């Protein structure tokens, strides 16, 4: 029953977003994508309006990557973006500058290259999607001294809970292609199977303010706090 309610909620949000996008297009003004302190998808009333720049912090739970001869499992991961505006017009863009993992087994080292990331509407009917093209990951400390390097394009649906208090993304078997070595034990196609990832927003201020469990919301106008 909960799954049905979540599906209906997502469908309703997509329809509302479609109407929202349509209205914005008619007025020739793209919508604003804003950091919301909750998971609300439309017209967030509790958004981050601080004029300073901030960083989007990604917090991943237990995750698995299947490289064929080995499954890499990590207990957690944490990444951060470059300094970006909390409210952006047309889409939400940034660069994942750093992503580290802890408690890994199968392969003990995981290195992720910096990559451009964008959150936008997938189609006119939704949903939100997080995209990262050319994402590169290298696994070291694997059995038999093997190192595996993979590259792939991420296209992950942004999900929310029923109460609209948090948003997250999950890989759901996103496929990566081996780019090194040319042969050997590493599978030609690797799969990022699991790792539920939520987000915080860290302001660029002297006290290091962090808003936890933030989401992306569509808004019709920019709001700034002086």
| Selected residue with higher pLDDT from 83 and 16 | 83
Q: Residue 1 pLDDT > 60, yes or no?
A: no
pLDDT at residue 177 in the model = 97
Mean pLDDT score of the chain, rounded to an integer?
86
Q: With pLDDT > 70 as the criterion, what percentage of the chain qualifies? A: 85
pLDDT confidence of residue 125:
64
Please check whether residue 54 is in contact with residue 34, taking contact to mean a CB–CB distance below 8 angstroms: no
Confidence of residue 69 (pLDDT cuts 50, 70, 90): very high
Does residue 22 carry a pLDDT above 80?
A: no
What's the mean pLDDT in 31-48?
Answer: 90
175-194 pLDDT, tens per residue?
A: 999 999 877 899 999 999 99
Is the model's pLDDT at 11 over the cut of 80? no
């Amino acid at each position: 029953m909960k799954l049905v309610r979540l599906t209906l909620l997502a469908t309703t949000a997509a329809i509302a977003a479609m109407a929202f996008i349509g209205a914005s297009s008619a007025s020739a003004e793209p919508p604003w994508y804003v950091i919301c302190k909750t998971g609300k998808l439309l017209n967030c009333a509790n958004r981050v309006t601080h004029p300073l720049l901030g960083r989007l912090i990604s917090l991943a739970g237990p995750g698995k990557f299947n490289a064929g001869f080995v499954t890499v499992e990590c207990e957690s991961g944490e990444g951060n973006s470059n300094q970006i505006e909390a409210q952006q017009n047309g889409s939400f863009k940034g660069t994942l500058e750093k992503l580290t993992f802890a408690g890994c087994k199968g392969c003990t080292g995981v290195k992720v290259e910096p990559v451009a990331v964008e959150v936008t509407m997938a189609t006119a009917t939704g949903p939100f999607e997080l995209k990262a093209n050319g994402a590169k990951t290298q696994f070291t400390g694997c059995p038999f001294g093997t190192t595996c390097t993979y590259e792939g394009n991420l296209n992950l649906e942004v999900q929310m809970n029923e109460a609209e208090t948090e948003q997250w993304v999950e890989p759901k078997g996103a496929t990566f292609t081996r780019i090194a070595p040319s042969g050997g034990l590493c599978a030609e196609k690797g799969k990022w199977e699991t790792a539920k990832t939520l987000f915080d927003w860290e302001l660029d201020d002297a006290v290091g303010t962090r808003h936890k469990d933030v989401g992306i919301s569509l808004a019709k106008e920019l709001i700034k706090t002086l």
